[in-house]
Structure 1
């Protein structure tokens, strides 16, 4: 496929699908991080005033995005698309450094290039640009086709600085730069790894894989100094984060969360794993998970070949190229390893590994006849298009509304991929609560997908426990503590949702707290309960008549 044709397809994809992507709803994780960022902006203390079991990096990213682009869902999704575009740009630069060679005949490939002269060099440059454009088209189509739970998430966001770190390492290995430049690039690489670590520490696994393979396979001088500078860069980027937590007052509460709360959080996460979750995730990712069946053997073969030969740049004319390809492969294998072994069967976790798998495939020189290669690519692309939710007519028909009106509850309901929340019913709940003049610290949500109400109403939760039920499940030993905090708060309303709670059909509603509180509003499966207190005459009066939509 010609490069110009691919470029036109990328532009067409952005024009057709871009507005739909931007108008899709935010997922509940992103809404939660918004609530946490808003609490920080209101002089709240992260970890103390609002629960967060992870490192604060993603909250910092939300603070930056919201400070620049505002608080709309479209702004966040546009920022997410820009971040993913940055990932693709860096991946393309990495492909440029790692010019593909045949894995089994590097010497022959290099000889052919030298004999071909300038014409061969030009052809190789054209082929390289075509590979970059093809990778970009496939990776972009994959990301745009994913459900909203895959977007604006930590795993994809940490891929941006991590990819920058890999590119800097390959760039440093690519040429004969001065000592000062090499040292600066090593320091900057460490800064990028450190920035990714603040977003999610799981990036340490692919980072160690990339560094270890590079050190083992290339016997150049100064490797110990370079490694020391990478470590120094990582420590350097850690200092501002520690200073921020110390200055804001979050430092002791961060350690309380990590040491006292998180062991139970990690245990609960492992217990929530199931074969059914993995099967459902593979179904949602079809046919994109097939990428691993191609990329993983290629990556393992590269690593085995390079590590076996322990290439050095002066030993082998193609050694630098094979070293670069090994670096890309180590990055992919390390990322895939941590996502499968250390994390859960949640869609967003496994998006970056598929993108990196596409990168491995794009960097490989496929010794296949065009008569075979083109039908295979066409068949895969056809499967991907048929499986892509974003290309279904009922969603494409909303393009004009997206461009003219922007996102709305009704539009989010049409563009959403998941069951929760019901955007129309949740909007009814928000309108009712807005009529009640709900303010900060007066609203509690029982279910996690109701967390969108806080940003919709621009209010803060009644307690540090942003959604009660999920936190009671993740921290079961603190269930009574969480319920006690909700009961003793100044909250006026508690929102419950029966389907997410598992109450379907003729199942009777629980008689326990908070279900036993008066219901003052209903919309579908959502209920707004008024918090009754002995002196709260207003809440009692409201309980006499239930409004519903």
Structure 2
């Protein structure tokens, strides 16, 4: 018998090269990642957690339109590890790493080769560590850990049931534990419920396989009741906290009076979200057109509606596809794991498209799942993607001035728009190892510090330093817009109003805008200073003429740039005198001293 011919060496077939790429990406990326600033969503939850730990009441003292699970986690992080940015980012890294480890186990179980597992790990590292801070410390990303944990519990239960090692009672107990984990995920973000329902459905036939004759319905009922019981226990525990902490009436107010337009907004924006789908994380997101049919194929071939048996292997439909396009799973367990991974990806993608807002971080989990889906099917997409990104970065470093370098139109509109390809951050890598980093370093490793929802750390430090010289205390500083509320954290003071993302709250409707106005007026008598952001105060600055706001103001009591329209100067907070402006009088943050009536507020 002759030995099979040796396969030629190719980079994507090498586990060693895959793990080497992973190691390089981690060594380079983690120091930069840990020193990046927090995004305004993370600072909101950080402020909420600190407020709760200081005896405040969530929703009453810091407005939040979401369930409180993420705030609970942040409370634990801040109570145990302190208040540094690095502590929060290290926690994010641990959560994502744990979720990635579970996902790699699922990928291996679904048929990935050793090289496929290695390159999947490299792809996840090369993706998550090198995307904008907009996507870090977000609820959608952290939901992956309990979801993948619950998925593994379900797969273990199905395997045990197939082997006949489960009774209805053990199915119930195992399902209750899984339901408890799903319940924890729901408290982080309720949008995960459709994913839980889909995974429950695709596993029912497998659970029924080990049931005694005529008892398959009872087995499914034990699984369902157990899952619901665990979820209800998690739900009850959360409700106890809401009531005991005093947050319950304010929680109800948010969901009765503030979130009422959410579903209508989702329906109106659906076509926009569909059009944006391929462009969130190029080139990764472009592969959605291939990932969807591949996931559908995995689910259909797995036939989750049919009780497994010996006759199911091999599946004739699989043999219709060439080996280079589709690798047949080795056994029933691998086929089931691939079915689960495909169902997980499809349900998460559809939930993001149908029930979520058009934000990049919403699509981080599905992108990570897509990388794993390709690995499980032995499509090592991560290898060429990482190679192309590395080549682009190298070209930008060594290329002469031209359309694809720093000064060219192609760079501004193609490369800069996708910051994972920017090599400029690498020069800050040595500075990441200093004991304490400056705001300049944080801006250097950030992707979007010059965006209205991003934080310019150096200028926030300047504002905080000025306000310290004024001896400000709790509720004496009002941060306007989105980015300036980082000042509360820098100073360690309590906010005078509960709204951090003012545009979100005021934009929910006319009643909601009036309630924001009333709260600002109520708080104003105790407020000494207001911090506003020129990047947010006028849409004029957020577009092509952004450089105009760098011009200094005409005088010591008017530091606003001359291009601010007169009608905007009549609205709060621009109607208040100015006493400080970051960036040597040319920056984006302006400090107003509150000496005049509030008047109408301006929240574009």
Q: TM-score range by the shorter chain?
A: 0.7 to 0.9
Decide whether aligned partners of structure 1 residues 514 and 425 sit closer, same or farther in structure 2, where only a CA change above 3 A counts: same
Counterpart secondary structure, 1:192: helix
> 2:528 matched to which residue of 1?
492
Counterpart secondary structure, 1:496: strand
> 1:410 matched to which residue of 2?
440
Mapped pair 1:460 → 2:494: yes
Decide whether aligned partners of structure 1 residues 208 and 294 sit closer, same or farther in structure 2, where only a CA change above 3 A counts: same
CA distance in 2, matches of 1:259, 1:7: 50
Q: Please tell me whether the aligned partners of residues 281 and 346 of structure 1 are also in contact (alpha carbons under 8 angstroms).
A: no
| Residue 522 of structure 1, CA deviation | 1.5
- Deviating 4+ runs (over 6 angstroms): 269-274, 277-281
- Counterpart of 1:227 (choices 224, 229, 233) is 224
> 1:111 matched to which residue of 2?
none
Q: Please tell me whether the aligned partners of residues 580 and 591 of structure 2 are also in contact (alpha carbons under 8 angstroms).
A: yes
Q: Please tell me whether the aligned partners of residues 194 and 347 of structure 2 are also in contact (alpha carbons under 8 angstroms).
A: yes
Mapped pair 1:201 → 2:190: yes
Decide whether aligned partners of structure 1 residues 98 and 284 sit closer, same or farther in structure 2, where only a CA change above 3 A counts: closer
Stretch moving more, 497-506 or 393-402: 497-506
CA distance in 1, matches of 2:340, 2:279: 30
Mapped pair 1:382 → 2:387: yes
CA distance in 1, matches of 2:530, 2:383: 52
> 2:134 matched to which residue of 1?
149
Mapped pair 1:188 → 2:169: no
Counterpart secondary structure, 2:65: coil
Decide whether aligned partners of structure 1 residues 309 and 42 sit closer, same or farther in structure 2, where only a CA change above 3 A counts: closer
Mapped pair 1:334 → 2:376: no
- Counterpart of 1:249 (choices 222, 225, 246) is 246
| Residue 475 of structure 1, CA deviation | 4.2
| Residue 473 of structure 1, CA deviation | 1.7
> 2:472 matched to which residue of 1?
438
Q: Please tell me whether the aligned partners of residues 446 and 469 of structure 1 are also in contact (alpha carbons under 8 angstroms).
A: no
Note the alpha carbon deviations across 1:497-537, whole angstroms, 9 max, x for none.
12212243424242122211111111213211112269xxx
Note the alpha carbon deviations across 1:39-75, whole angstroms, 9 max, x for none.
1112111112221111000101111111121111111
| Residue 295 of structure 1, CA deviation | 1.9
CA distance in 1, matches of 2:132, 2:446: 8
Stretch moving more, 295-304 or 239-248: 295-304
> 2:484 matched to which residue of 1?
450
Note the alpha carbon deviations across 1:378-401, whole angstroms, 9 max, x for none.
532223333674564321111110
Between the two structures, name the one with larger relative contact order (CA 8 Å, sep ≥ 6): 1
TM (norm. structure 1) is 0.85
Mapped pair 1:530 → 2:593: yes
Decide whether aligned partners of structure 1 residues 216 and 147 sit closer, same or farther in structure 2, where only a CA change above 3 A counts: same
| Residue 353 of structure 1, CA deviation | 0.3
> 2:368 matched to which residue of 1?
355
| Residue 426 of structure 1, CA deviation | 2.3
Q: Please tell me whether the aligned partners of residues 20 and 399 of structure 1 are also in contact (alpha carbons under 8 angstroms).
A: yes
> 2:302 matched to which residue of 1?
306
Q: How does 1:268-283 map to 2 (within 5 A)?
A: 275=272, 282-283=278-279
| Residue 408 of structure 1, CA deviation | 2.4
> 2:73 matched to which residue of 1?
61
> 2:336 matched to which residue of 1?
323
| Residue 233 of structure 1, CA deviation | 1.2
Q: Please tell me whether the aligned partners of residues 123 and 383 of structure 2 are also in contact (alpha carbons under 8 angstroms).
A: no
Q: Please tell me whether the aligned partners of residues 169 and 186 of structure 1 are also in contact (alpha carbons under 8 angstroms).
A: yes
CA distance in 2, matches of 1:308, 1:250: 43
Q: Please tell me whether the aligned partners of residues 172 and 223 of structure 2 are also in contact (alpha carbons under 8 angstroms).
A: yes
Decide whether aligned partners of structure 1 residues 410 and 282 sit closer, same or farther in structure 2, where only a CA change above 3 A counts: farther
CA distance in 1, matches of 2:121, 2:441: 28
Counterpart secondary structure, 1:355: helix
- Counterpart of 1:291 (choices 287, 293, 299) is 287
CA distance in 1, matches of 2:470, 2:264: 40
> 1:105 matched to which residue of 2?
none
CA distance in 2, matches of 1:264, 1:245: 24
CA distance in 1, matches of 2:262, 2:521: 23
> 1:131 matched to which residue of 2?
116
CA distance in 2, matches of 1:242, 1:270: 30
Counterpart secondary structure, 1:289: helix
TM (norm. structure 2) is 0.77
> 1:544 matched to which residue of 2?
none
| Residue 476 of structure 1, CA deviation | 3.5
> 1:174 matched to which residue of 2?
159
How many residues align? The count is: 498
> 2:407 matched to which residue of 1?
none
List runs of 5+ in structure 2 lacking aligned partners.
1-12, 212-218, 314-330, 393-414, 542-547, 549-562, 598-604
CA distance in 2, matches of 1:327, 1:283: 26
Counterpart secondary structure, 1:527: strand
Q: Please tell me whether the aligned partners of residues 50 and 78 of structure 2 are also in contact (alpha carbons under 8 angstroms).
A: no
CA distance in 2, matches of 1:344, 1:331: 20
Note the alpha carbon deviations across 1:64-107, whole angstroms, 9 max, x for none.
1111211111111111011100011111222343336xxxxxxx
CA distance in 1, matches of 2:69, 2:333: 34
CA distance in 2, matches of 1:66, 1:359: 32
Counterpart secondary structure, 1:494: strand
CA distance in 2, matches of 1:357, 1:218: 26
